[in-house]
Structure 1
Amino acid sequence: MNIATAEPGVDERIELRQSEQRARPWQTVVWNDPVNLMSYVTHVFREYFGYPRAKAERLMMAVHHDGHAVVAEGAREQMELHAQAMHDYGLWATVRKAPE
């Protein structure tokens, strides 16, 4: 039997599934607030994330109309840094696991 073409056993499939779940990214979510101007939120997204004006405005409009927007996805530690930076700018942000 060629090991390279062998079908993985049950334990290997469970391990792979658990690995895929761990690999699911985290998100930084910015929430709407009654304090910050829309122009300021756009400015923060452009300055901190380096987003082009159109993307920053689209995200800002999502915050305004939907109440929140996912502004970044990736490793948990990086998303926590982004959320802290948003707090430093005076925006309300949280970190969450990306939905499946």
Structure 2
Amino acid sequence: MCDSPVLRTANTPQSDADLEISLEVAPDVPWITIVWNDPVNLMSYVTYVFRSYFGFSTTEAERLMMQVHENGRAVVATGPREEMERHTEAMHEFGLWATVAKASDS
């Protein structure tokens, strides 16, 4: 039998020690909770939910409620995904339509 030489190119590592591993960690993109307009809930109830659940002042709760009413939606919270999912579930429990999205997608 003939021993054939091992063919290596310039980019072929000689050993595991020659391997360079590059790991890039993407920053956690902020997530948002969006409350959507619906034909069921009264504006006063939406304001109440924003005040009681999020602790918004009356002025801020009414401002966000008007965004929901006039624009069809309002971003009511920003933060880590798990927290935004909890907020969304809470809005569902109050009977409001809400979703979670990446802040960059909104």
Pairing 1:64–2:61 present: no
Deviations 1:50-84 (A, max 9, x none): 00011100000000000000000001000000000
Whose radius of gyration is greater, 1 or 2?
2
Query: Identical aligned pairs, as a percentage?
Result: 63
- Given the two structures, how large is their TM-score scaled by the length of structure 2? 0.75
Q: How many residues align?
A: 84
Q: Which has the higher helix share?
A: 1
Displacement after TM superposition at 1:99 (Å):
1.4
Q: Which runs of 4+ in 1 moved over 3 A?
A: none
With normalisation by structure 1, the TM-score equals 0.79
Counterpart-to-counterpart distance in 2, 1:87 and 1:41:
12
CA deviation profile, 1:9-33 (whole Å, cap 9, x unmatched): xx57xx2xx523xx21000000000
Structure 1 unaligned runs (5+)?
Answer: 1-10
- Report matched runs for 1:6-45 at 5 Å: 15=24, 18-20=25-27, 23-45=28-50
Computed over aligned residues only, the root mean square deviation of the Cα atoms, in angstroms, reads: 1.3
For 1:32, give the aligned amino acid.
Answer: N
